[in-house]
Each structure stands twice: as structure tokens, then as C-alpha cells.
Amino acid sequence: MVQIHQKKEIKGILRFPRLDTVLMVEEFIKKHDGEYKKRSLWEALPKKTMYQTFCVIIDYLLYSRKISVDTEGKIGWIYYPESATYFFKRKELSRK
């Protein structure tokens, strides 16, 4: 008999972050935009998380283009969908 549900294995990740943890990190980065490098950001979080879990969150936020890392290594929030929508609707900025 063939198993329908197979366990998916993602190598190297011991713990996946919970949604409340991801949201906490997002809010902290928004509030402290460009102030912290990765390690110091992790140390300054209001709730402690495992560093590996924190790294998974940072990788996700980079992949989803919500944060960026500058040349000094500081993390900044770059996801502003309301502003993008505003500028997208302006006719003088659109391509013809």
C-alpha cells in the first residue's frame, strides 16, 4: 500500500517559528528601522527566541522582500504596500 502522507524533511531546521514570533520580529524591525545588525537585533527582542528560529524568520523576511540589509549589516524595513499602491496609481509616474 502506498502512503499518501509523506513526512517532508527540510534539512537543517530544527524549529519553525510560530506566527506570533514572526509578527513580533516584524513589529520590532519596523519600530527600530535600520538601528540594529542581525545579532544585536536578536539580543534586543522583547521575547527571547532561539537564534536558529530567529535566522529562519530573517531569511523569510528577506525572501519576501520585507526587509533589507545595508552595507553596514543593519536591517531595515522596506515593505510599504500602501505607498507602492499610491505611486502605482499616479498617472505621471506610469509608463506609456
**Is the confidence at residue 14, as pLDDT, over 80?**
no
Dump pLDDT digits (tens) for 46-79: 999 999 999 999 999 999 999 999 999 999 999 9
Q: How far apart are CA 23 and CA 47, in angstroms?
A: 12
The reported pTM is 0.76
- Amino acid, res. 82: E
3-state secondary structure of 76: strand
CATH hierarchy code of domain 19-93 = 1.10.10.10
Neighbouring-strand partners of residue 75: 69
Dump pLDDT digits (tens) for 49-58: 999 999 999 9
Q: How far apart are CA 53 and CA 21, in angstroms?
A: 9
From residue 26, how far is each of 4, 31, 76, 92, 96 by CA, in Å? Answer: 36, 9, 10, 33, 36
